[in-house]
Amino acid sequence: MESLKTTALTDVHRSMGAKMVPFAGYEMPVQYAGLLTEHHAVRNAAGLFDVSHMGEFTVEGPDALDFLQYVTSNDVSKLVPGKVQYSCLPNADSGIVDDLLVYCRGEQKYLLVVNASNIDKDWAWLQQWAPQFDVRMENQSEQWSLLALQGPHAAALLQPFTSIDLGGLAYYSFAEGELLGFPGAILSATGYTGAGGFELYLPNDAAETVWKTLLDAGAVPVGLGARDTLRLEMGYCLYGNDIDDTTNALEAGLGWITKFSKDFIQKPHLENVKAHGVERKLVGFVLTDRGVARHGYPIVDESGTAVGVVTSGSPSPTLGQSIGLGYVPVSSSTPGSKIFVEVRNQPLAAEVVSLPFLKKA
C-alpha cells in the first residue's frame, strides 16, 4: 500500500489526540472532541479545520482568461482581482471533472483550488488543453497549507492577528498580505460550511503557528466529519458523492455556475441536455420516518421500484432531522414530493424539500 501523504499539521493533529483516517490519499483528522460538538462550534462560534489536502494550481500568462473560460463552466470574465468564483471543470462529454474555486489575483494571474482526491486527474486534464493557450501553470499543492476558520465569531477572532481589514472582505472576496507576521498569506472570505468565516492559504512554515494561535484564541479544532455534515446542511455538493464524471451540471443544480454565454469544453453537449431537458434532478430530502439515509441507498417509489439513489445523507445536527441529497426523476423533484429511501431493506418515507436545508436565520 502506498503510504499516506501528510500535511504540515499531521503531527500536531496526532499529538492533540485527533482521530486520523485516510482521506483522498492523505492522513487527515476526522474528529477531535466529537463530531456533534465540533459541528455546533462552527454554527455558533468558530471552528478551525486543516484542509491542506486541497490542491492549488496557478495559471498565468496572456491567455489565462481565455484558457479558464474554455476549461471552466462559470464566466471568468466577471472576476476582478480580489474576487473568487465557484465553478466546475466540465469534461468532454457532459460530466464534471471536478468542482473548484477560481481566484483572480491580478490581470493574467489566477489560482485554482481543487479537491484533494482530484489533484492528479485535474492536473492531467488541464495539461491536455493548456498547450493551445499562452499560459503557464504550476501545481503548488504541496507548497500551500490551507486552514478554514469558520463560524460567526471567525472575523473577530482572526482580526487581531492580521493587518488586513477583514470587515472589508465581502463574501467570496480575498486579500493577500500577512498573518501573524508571515507574509504571502491569502485570506479568503469563503468556506464550505454556510457558517461564514475565512479560508487561510499559508506557506507551510506558517501553518503550525497560525493553527496554535487561533486555537489559543478560542477556535475549536474540527475534523472532516463535521465538515461533511456542515456542507450537507447547506445542500453543497461533494465531488465523488453528489457529482462526478457521469453527472451533468444541470441535473446537479449547478446551472447557476454554467454560463452558455461563452464557449467552453462541453458546451454543445450541455446545450443538447438543456434542449431536451434533464431526466433526473439532484434534490434535498428529509426523512419523515425514523432512520438515516446514506450514500448509495436506493430511492424507491410507493411500489418499491428503484427510481434514484441517495448521494449524501446524514443526521443534521443543527436541525435534528435526517437529511440527504439524491437523484430523483424530474416528476418527483418538486418540494413536497413523497419519495422513499430503502434503508436496510425497509422503505422509509421522505419528502423532497428546497435547498439549503438550513434556511438563513
Write down the least CB distance from residue 207 to other proteins, Å. Answer: 26
Q: Binder to other proteins among 61, 203, 240, 291 (CB under 8 A)? A: 291
Does 166 engage in binding with other proteins (CB under 8 A)? no
C-alpha span between 89 and 87 (Å, rounded)? 7
- Interface pattern 271-290 for other proteins (x via CB under 8 A): -------------------x
Does 82 engage in binding with other proteins (CB under 8 A)? no
Q: Which stretch binds other proteins (CB under 8 A): 55-63, 120-128, 309-317, 334-342?
A: 309-317
| Cell numbers at 106, concatenated | 491580478
Write down the least CB distance from residue 36 to other proteins, Å. Answer: 5
Q: Which stretch binds other proteins (CB under 8 A): 29-37, 96-104, 168-176, 328-336?
A: 29-37
289 φ, ψ (degrees, to nearest 5): -90, 160
Write down the least CB distance from residue 23 to other proteins, Å. Answer: 12
What residues from 225 to 264 belong to the interface with other proteins (CB under 8 A)?
A: 225, 228-229
Reported in sequence order, the residue ranges of the chain that DSSP labels E, i.e. its strands, are 19-23, 26-31, 47-50, 55-60, 84-90, 96-106, 109-114, 136-139, 144-150, 174-179, 182-188, 197-203, 220-221, 280-287, 298-300, 306-315, 322-329, 338-343, 346-353
Q: Binder to other proteins among 10, 31, 85, 115 (CB under 8 A)? A: 31
Write down the least CB distance from residue 316 to other proteins, Å. Answer: 10
Pairing mode, strands 346-353 and 280-287: antiparallel
Q: Binder to other proteins among 34, 81, 181, 183 (CB under 8 A)? A: 34
39 φ, ψ (degrees, to nearest 5): -60, -50
Does 20 engage in binding with other proteins (CB under 8 A)? no
C-alpha span between 323 and 288 (Å, rounded)? 10
C-alpha span between 193 and 46 (Å, rounded)? 11
Nearest to 187 by CA among 197, 195, 198, 196: 198
| Cell numbers at 234, concatenated | 447547506
Does 292 engage in binding with other proteins (CB under 8 A)? yes
Residues that bind other proteins (CB under 8 A): 30-31, 34-36, 225, 228-229, 290-292, 294, 314-315, 317, 344
